[in-house]
Structure formats: C-alpha cells, structure tokens
Amino acid sequence: MKHRKILVMTVVFSVVFMIALCVKANSGMSGEQCEPHEYEYLSPQSLVADESAGLLYIAATTAKRISIFDVKAGKVAREIHLPVFPCGLALSSDTKTLYVTETDSRGRLWAIDCSSGKVEWSIEVGHSPVSATLTANGRRMYVCDRFSNSISVVDLAAREVVETIPVGREPVDAVLSLDGRTLFVVNSLPDGAANKEHVAAEVSVINTETNRVLKSIEMPNGSTGLKNVCLSPDGKWAYVTHILARYQVPTTQVDRGWQNTNALSIIDVASGELYQTVLLDDIYKGFANPWAVSSTADGKNLCVTSAGSHELTVIDRQAMHDKLDGSSDDVRNDLSFLAGLRKRLELNGRGPRGMVILGRTAYITEYFSGSLAKVELAGDDQDDIVSISLGDEKQMSPQRRGEMLFNDATMCFQNWQSCASCHPDARSDGLNWDLLNDGIGNPKSTKSMLLAHMTPPVMVSGIRPNAETAVRAGIRYIQFAARPEEDAAAIDEYLKSIEPTPSPYLVDGGLSESARRGKEIFRSAKCGRCHSGEMFTDLKSHDVGTGSGTEKGIRFDTPTLVEVWRTAPYLYDGRAATIRELLTRYNNSNMHGVTADLSDKELDALSEYVLSL
C-alpha cells in the first residue's frame, strides 16, 4: 500500500509538472532553460540577420531550436530551445523580438525576446504556417498558412489574428512592396483541374489596406514548386523562384530540360503583371529545385540557391534587365539566356535552402548537412566558399539518407530534376505527366507517394507491382541514371517513414459535425466497397466509368483516401478539381459510389468527411 501511494504521488507530481511547463511556455518560458530536444539532425532552414549586431538567427527545424550565429566569430554563439519545430523567421526592426512560425497543423506564431531567449507569447494562426512577413512599422505580421490556403493578418500589439485572407494553393512566402500597400504571396502549387490547356501556380496580390486579393498573377504554363520571393532594392521588381515543368511532352528523355527546367520569374510591382521568366539552367546542366532568392543591397547581384544541385548562382542583375529590355522575345525557353551574365558556384554542403546577404557575403542554410555556407560574392575561387557546422549530428539513418537522395538532383543525368521536382514532400505537383510505363499519349495525374509501399500495386493504372519496382524504374527512366541498389533502398526507407499530415478539415483533431454525417453517408453510398480498411483501399483495380478516349473501360488502381485533401486534382487525368466535382459531374452513373441522388447538403457532408481523412 505504501509503495502504491508513492507511485500515485509520483504520477500526480509528473502531470502537474508537465501542465506547469505548458502554461509557462505561453506566458514567458525561458527558451534557453527549456529542456533541449533530443534530436538526430539540425535541418537548418530559414534565417534572418541582425546586421548591426553581426548575428544570424537560424531555424534548426528538426532540432527544435534557434541557432544564433556570430558572424565575426564564425560560430554558433548560443541557442534557444523551443517546444516546437521552427520554420519561418522574422526580426522586429528594433531587433529585440524574433518571430517564429512552427511546422504543425495547429500552427502558432511565437514571439521570442532576443536577449533573454524567453518566449514572450504565442498565438494560434493557420495550418502549417511557413513564413512570416513584418510590416515596416512593426504593427502587423502576414503569416503564410500553407495548408489553410490563407494569410493570417496578425495585430502584434493585440496579439491576435484580425483577419484571414484566402489565397491560392499552399502559400509559402510573401513580400511587401516598399510602400507597404501591396503584398505579393507565392502559392506553391497549381490549383484546379490538371487537364486544362494552362496549368500553373499563381502569385496572389493583396491590398493591405482592405486585406483583399486584388488579382492573381498566373505564372507561365507548367509553373510549380514556387518557393521564394524578394524585391529589388528599388522596389520595382519582385523575383520568384520556381520549377517550369514541360509536362505536355512524353518523358522520353531528360537532357536539355526536356522534362523540367528551373526558373526565375520577374513581376512588375507597379502593374502587378508578370514581366518575364528566365531559366536558371545551362544548356547541358540543370539548376534543379531553385529555392531562395535575394538581392545585394546595392542591387548589383541577384542570388539564387539550388536545393537540388547544391549551388548558388550569382546574376548580374542590371545586365539581365538590360538584355530583357532589349528583347521583345519570350525567353522562357532559352537555356542560354543568362550565359555570360552569371556565375554558378558549387557549395560544399547538401540541400541549400534559406539565404541572407550581408554586404558582399551570402550565408546559406544547408539542410541535409546541418551547416551554414559562407560565400564571398566578390571571389572567383572555391576557397571563397566554406561550410560551417552548426552542431554535431548523428550518422545518417537509411531514412534520412533516402530523404536527402529524394531531394538530390545530382542523381539525375545533367542535374535537371530530383524526385521532389514532381513529388514535393513526396506528394504531387498537381500536373499530368505522360510516363511511358503504360504507353504514350495518355498523360496521368502525379500520385502522392504517401503509403505507396503499403498499397500495392502502384501507379494510377497499377502497372507496377509494388513501390520498390517503381522507385527503381523512376531512377532509370525518369532520372535517366544508373545508381547503386543502396540508393534505391534508402529512398524506399524514406518513403515508408513519411506520415500523413492531419487534415485542415479536422476540428480539434477530430471530425466536424458535418464530417460525422458524411461518414454515415460514405457507408450508405457504398464508397467503402472499394475504399475500405485503415488505408481506405481494397488494393484492387476497378472500372468505375471514369476512363475516356483511349482509357475508356480501363481498370484503375483504387487509391488510398488518406490525406486525399492534399492530392487535388482528382481522377486519373486530374479533370475533377474538387472531391465534390468528382462525386457529381463525373459520377452520374453511380459507378463511383451511389451519389447521384444525394442532396447538396449530403454531398457537402460526404465531401467534408473524405477531405478529413
């Protein structure tokens, strides 16, 4: 009995202690006194600079910490440990407060006192906030809520979200015009059906006085994987990095950017129109997966990181504009346009992502190396490029190595693309591709690779017996490369390790009232005949009447419905922009669930349930 009392008291004390920690986290917990998170990898991602103090604040995402790097000393001076995985960073104009977004479905914006490392406050924003943009007067913050497809407008004095602005699909970055009246929001993926003539992601233009979207700038056809945006120092131009996919041709080769090219699009800020798009590649070498873009303060150079080929390109900005002004041609297909106008620098680390430029020195986070690249822009020698470790990391596990290889375009012939070029985060790019595994002239929607190894067969038509076969075929026939078996095995392990992201349709982690009604309709409409079990697939192929043209009568693999909210558009050719459209416009014969006689309210409930999975 005595031992039982001691055990009960111990449990009660532990629970009270954990509650106290949580309360403290929201009321001024000391970040530096917080118990350090046991981590394997740092994964440095974004960074911001306190130039006057010579400090860089670096989000070491998977280590749950902010590394504070002393530029003069060339090392990490101290660390702020957090209870969350930090992602986006912004620094107040007085450099006293660091704002941090976290990568979580119940996303929060955190305010941290830079001198003490204490969390001053945090508020809930949208689903998976990835970046934060601060107004010049420091009164408001615009947060890109990636999976809410919205911008949270935060009143920093009141510490609350005062408005939520719907934008395009997966907003990941934003920049304010110099007068603060216009916000340019980069949306990562195309929205809508994939079988249209023009399929591309958009840049949303927001009036900050009304908090309304003025217009959406449609990027060039095939634009996907938008990552970053910056302004020219004079505020006249906004530069956006992205992939420019050549999805309308069969994947018979990869050289000279046949499948994917990598681009920088230029927006005229005054008119809010797309001005030009230039390719960052060379004729025989791709600049895969462009990520960060930044200008030197004097406007002389524009710098872009390549997360796939592990490079930095330094562009003569004015020379590029002079050449564009002197040409009336569309140069988005010209692989030689930047020849003589830029230099390409190979970095020592792997997976360069975020970047800041101080004077003539660029600092770049190297995600898979746990390091910071320091590049002297005025130099012409490899000695002007160093990679500085941000801390100790464990030896790469097969899963981590597979993740690195999945994002590594140096696996590909001529470095044109990585697996992530078409499968960002191992999901879908929203495009139709004409792969050759089931013939030619029959493009199909890119599938998410979540649960691929657990739901054989694979590919839309089930043409591959399992995901292991598909991974090796992708290396050979999409990357046009011959790689050792251990590379494919590592990618297998990475893909097996990824987990579903909680749906933005969930309420407090559970089904909404409407979705609960939809769950019953799912059963009565016999959707579960094919979409059954934990993974909502019977692992079989069926003809549900959706095939058309040469695909008429074809049996398609039953896809999992897990995380289906993230895999739009729908059907094998991406013709259905939404689940509701799939259930109505493309299911008149009731072969894809008995839905023809459902009311609008019932269809809404069914759609919400499916999108909550």
pLDDT digits (tens, 9 = 90+) for 424-462: 999 999 999 999 999 999 999 999 999 999 999 999 999
75/69 Cα distance (integer angstroms): 6
What pLDDT is attached to residue 31?
41
What pLDDT is attached to residue 30?
40
pLDDT: is 329 or 607 the higher one? Answer: 607
Assigned token pair, 78: 């101290």
Which amino acid, one-letter code, is at 230? C
Task: Return the SS3 of 411.
Answer: helix
What pLDDT is attached to residue 563?
98
Spell out the alpha helix ranges (H) of 316-410.
Answer: 317-325, 398-406
546/575 Cα distance (integer angstroms): 10
Long-range CB pairs of 49-58 (<8 Å, 24+ gap) are 49/91, 49/356, 49/358, 49/363, 50/91, 50/95, 50/114, 51/358, 52/95, 53/95, 56/356, 56/363, 56/372, 57/89, 57/91, 57/98, 57/114, 58/354, 58/365, 58/372, 58/390
Q: What is the pLDDT of residues 590-606, one digit of tens each?
A: 988 999 999 999 999 99
419/254 Cα distance (integer angstroms): 13
Q: What is the widest separation between alpha-carbon atoms in the chain? A: 89
Q: 326 falls in which pLDDT band (50, 70, 90)? A: confident
Task: Return the SS3 of 420.
Answer: helix
Contacts (Cβ under 8 Å, ≥6 apart) of 515: 505, 605, 608, 609, 612
Can you list the domains of the chain with their CATH numbers?
A: 31-156 (2.130.10.10), 399-497 (1.10.760.10), 513-611 (1.10.760.10)
In the chain, the percentage of residues whose pLDDT exceeds 90 is 88
